[in-house]
């Protein structure tokens, strides 16, 4: 019924075979029982079958920005250029951020300057100037 478009989901004693997995998308069995769920095969199955999905690559590149190692090995010249440019850009961004954060944390706060004569007399009496 699911295969012919007459039902969206099937519940029953359906055994998982190679033929049936081509027609429907079986859920991963989390419990061993007599019932099995099945739905239509997803439309974007091509995206799911790729060796490295897009989200994983994006997460790897974002991880590289926080100085995690990158284990993506480009094959074509086009991907090599993309990966090298991302590596250089990401490394510069992370270094600039680290330098700015370090500078912010190491430089002490500056006190307010003396603007009036009364502030000057108070500073001299306290021995600050």
Residue-wise pLDDT for 63-95, tens only, equals: 887 877 777 777 788 888 888 888 888 889 888
Which of 75, 10, 70 minimizes the C-alpha distance to 40?
10
**pLDDT score recorded for residue 8:** 64
**pLDDT score recorded for residue 78:** 84
**pLDDT score recorded for residue 107:** 83
**pLDDT score recorded for residue 99:** 92
Q: Distance (Å, rounded) from C-alpha 25 to C-alpha 49?
A: 13
Q: What is the pTM of this model?
A: 0.39
Taking the CB of residue 13, how many other CB atoms lie within 10 A of it? 8
Which of 66, 74, 129 minimizes the C-alpha distance to 93?
66
Q: How would you label 113-128 residue by residue, b for 16+ Cβ within 10 Å and e otherwise? A: eeeeeeeeeeeeeeee
């Amino acid at each position: 019924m699911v295969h012919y478009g007459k039902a969206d989901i099937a519940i029953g004693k359906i055994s998982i075979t190679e033929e049936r997995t081509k027609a429907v998308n079986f859920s991963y069995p989390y419990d061993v029982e007599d019932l099995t769920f099945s739905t239509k095969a997803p439309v974007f199955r091509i995206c799911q079958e790729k060796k490295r999905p897009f989200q994983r690559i994006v997460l790897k590149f974002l991880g590289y920005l926080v100085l995690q190692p990158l284990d993506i090995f480009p094959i074509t010249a086009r991907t090599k250029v993309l990966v090298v440019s991302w590596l250089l850009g990401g490394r510069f961004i992370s270094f600039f951020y680290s330098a700015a954060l370090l500078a912010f944390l190491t430089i002490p706060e500056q006190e307010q300057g003396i603007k009036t004569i009364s502030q000057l007399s108070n500073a001299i009496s306290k021995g600050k100037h």
